[in-house]
Every structure is written in C-alpha cells, then in structure tokens.
Structure 1
Amino acid sequence: MQNDNMIPERSSGRSPLRWVATGLLRLAGWDVKPFPDVPRAIVVGGPHTSNWDGVLGIISGIALALHARFMIKNTLFKGPLGWLLTRLGGIPVNRSRAGGLVGQTVAELNRHNRIIIVMTPEGTRSSADRWKTGFHHIARQAGVPIVLAVADYGKKQLTFPLILQPSDDLEADMQRIYECFAEITPRHPEKLSRPVKVLWDQKQAAAPSGKS
C-alpha cells in the first residue's frame, strides 16, 4: 500500500475554495454533517432524483475537504479533459481488462491506506428498476465498509447515517441500504428508484395525516 500522505482523505486548513463551498451551503440553508473517521471506504450517495443531488455532493465534498475518487472509463482521459478528470479525482478504468470495473476498483483500494471512492449504484436515470450491485462486491472483496451519504431535502441535511461492513448476504445488506434511503425526503420522491420507492410509499401510508 502507498503511504497515507500520498492520497490524504482530507485537507488541513481552509482553502479559498473550501470557504466558498461552505458559504454556499450556509447560504442555501444546508447542514452537512462530518464525514465518519473511516480511512478507506466505498461511499454510496443518494437518493438520486435530481441533477442537484450531484451538485450538492460535489460542494459538500469540497466543504468537508474530502479527496473523494471515482472510477471513469479510460477512453475519456485524453487531452485537457483527462487532466480535468484527474484533478477532480477520476481514476481511469479499462472495462475490457480482466476483472473489469470490480477488479480494478478493488486493486485501487488495496493500493492505498487512505482512499474514498464514490459510486452511484442507482445509476444516472431516475426511477431505476434496480440497483447495480458491483459496489457491494468491491467493498466485500477489498474488506472496506460502505458509507451511505444521504441528502434530506426536507431537513436540508446531508448526513452519513450508515457504515455497513458488507456481509455474504447481499440481499439483506441491500435491504438495509434501501431502508436507510427511504427514511429521508428526496427532492423528487416520485423519481425514487423502485426498491426505495416501495419502502417510501409504505412509510408515507403508515405516517399520521399531515406528517411524513
């Protein structure tokens, strides 16, 4: 593994960009909770119902001074775009190589003592029928926890409510994640992915009138 100082999880001090990000969140009325003290992890953000979710995630990451990484197909790392993607935390992955995304991401995690990789298993399309489960296989093979990052638009809070050490029971682990996502108010509830929407609807039906 590389030394912790090679890829720091957080920056020290207050950079101008961090000040700006913190100011924007405060201006918008958002409260971002501290990231848990986890040196290596797969971070799963959501629920994804709006393009603003990604914007909020990026600004929050800057405000928290997290050096989050994400996997992107290697063909995009050419010219100025490649430089920009690298600066933003992109890691090139060759899907045609043995092991594919899962194997290469596991290898990347194992190379470092401190690294956070963000993944979006819901995909970029709203109302997805199912989640991709590669993130679970990656975390399990690398022996790292899955940290949930959830944006509650009702409370205007971004929190990290669950640190899940993946088990052999994929279905049970996924259910815990779905339930956690169903506990908060997304920007557009009608666009929730199907596994979360089922739980959200049940929660709303069981709630007293006038309350969520």
Structure 2
Amino acid sequence: MKAISKFILHTILGWKIENGFPKEPKKYIVIAAPHTSWVDFPIAILTRMSEGIMVHFIGKSSLFKWPFGYFFRILGGTPVDRSKSNNMVDAVIKLFNSKEEFRLGISPEGTRKKVEKWKTGFYYIAKGANVPIVMATLDFENKTVKISEPYYPTDSLEKDFDNFKSFFKNIKGKNPELF
C-alpha cells in the first residue's frame, strides 16, 4: 500500500511532502490545519500511508454509520458523539497511556467551517499524556504537505498557540476563505 499511495499522491496528484512524520517518538498528536474541505481527508490518508506511519483520527459519529463506518474504522478512525458532554480529553489521555505506540490526528478547528478560535482539547491531551504535538498542513497553493518536528507544550498556552499559528501562517487550504 505504501508504494501505491506514494504513486497516487506524488505522481498522479502531484503533491510533495516536506519533512515527514517523525519515526520517534512513538506517541504524539498531529494537529492538521487548515481543515476547509472534505478533500483534506483523502490527501491526509494518502500522506500517512505513503509515509508508512499509522495516524489514528476521531470524527463525528454520523460519519461512522453505514455504509462508510467500516471503511473509516479500517483507516484508523474512532467515532465521537459531539452531542453529549463527555470527558474526551481524559479518555484520550488514558488511550495514549495504554499504548506503546500511538499517533492521533486532530483538526484544531474542530470543523471545516471558519472559526474564530481553535479548540484546546488537543493541547490538554498532549500535556496530560506528556506527548509532543506535530503540526501538519496541506498547502493546496503549492501542493505541499508540510510536517513539523515534534513540539512539547510549555507551561504557556498563549506562547504555544502563537507557535502553532506561526507554523500555519500563509498556508492556503482548499477553501482559503474558511481559514
């Protein structure tokens, strides 16, 4: 699958990858932005597969119903019921702590729509599980997937979010007006 994914991503679709997913550490959170289109998902899956790295993801539970539920689970997805108030941060921290190797991809926007403020759950998961954050972006203008080195959150949420935002600055998503 790795060779086929590389062929599709690079040769057919014309995308390139800057850096790549880190092999070490074995556990981290990937924050991917901007998330402005359904097209982000297949490009992200092809990138992950061409890199030979499993990055799990969570998605709204409606995506995991028939006929696509089985397909999304095979790809590493877990449904989340966003209508209920539950402690997802603690649940994901426990998941990280129970695994020897685990990578989780999250969109900090939490939606494909334009948002004024990012969600902070990914940040508190990283802090609680003591894992770094890897930033990844799909730059549609240059057809480039950019991936950062692992970043360990500090004790300053403001400083860390400034760092995250600077990585994603000037990136054009599929629908740039939504970012």
TM-score by length of structure 2 reads: 0.84
**1:36 aligned to 2:22?**
yes
Aligned pairs, how many? 175
Aligned residue in 1 for 2:76: 89
Identity of aligned residues (%): 33
Consecutive unaligned residues in structure 2, runs of 5 or more: none
Q: Return the alpha-carbon distance in structure 2 between the equivalents of residues 51 and 155 of structure 1.
A: 18
**1:138 aligned to 2:125?**
yes
Consecutive unaligned residues in structure 1, runs of 5 or more: 1-16, 193-212
**Secondary structure of the residue that 2:39 maps to in structure 1?**
helix
Displacement of 1:160 after TM fit?
0.9
Structure having the larger proportion of residues in helix: 1
Selected match of 1:69 from 56, 61, 79:
56
Displacement of 1:75 after TM fit?
8.8
AA paired with 2:17? V
CA contact (8 A) 1:41 1:144 kept: yes
Selected match of 2:148 from 161, 165, 179:
161
CA contact (8 A) 1:94 1:101 kept: no
Q: Return the alpha-carbon distance in structure 2 between the equivalents of residues 75 and 126 of structure 1.
A: 17
Q: Return the alpha-carbon distance in structure 2 between the equivalents of residues 140 and 176 of structure 1.
A: 16
**Secondary structure of the residue that 2:111 maps to in structure 1?**
coil
Change beyond 3 A, Cα 1:168–1:156: same
Change beyond 3 A, Cα 1:163–1:183: farther
Superposed CA RMSD = 2.5
Q: What are the superposed Cα offsets for residues 86-138 of structure 1, whole Å, 9 maximum, x if unpaired?
A: 322123567769x6110110000011121101111212232212111000000
Change beyond 3 A, Cα 1:121–1:22: same
Change beyond 3 A, Cα 1:42–1:189: same
Change beyond 3 A, Cα 1:75–1:28: closer
Matches within 5 A, 1:1-212: 17-26=1-10, 27-33=12-18, 34-37=20-23, 38-72=25-59, 83-91=70-78, 100-192=87-179
Larger Rg: 1
Higher RCO structure (Cα 8 Å, ≥6 apart): 2
TM-score by length of structure 1 reads: 0.72
Q: Return the alpha-carbon distance in structure 2 between the equivalents of residues 72 and 31 of structure 1.
A: 26
CA contact (8 A) 1:149 1:161 kept: yes
Q: What are the superposed Cα offsets for residues 143-180 of structure 1, whole Å, 9 maximum, x if unpaired?
A: 00000011122322112124221122111111111111
Q: Return the alpha-carbon distance in structure 2 between the equivalents of residues 159 and 75 of structure 1.
A: 29
CA contact (8 A) 2:5 2:47 kept: yes
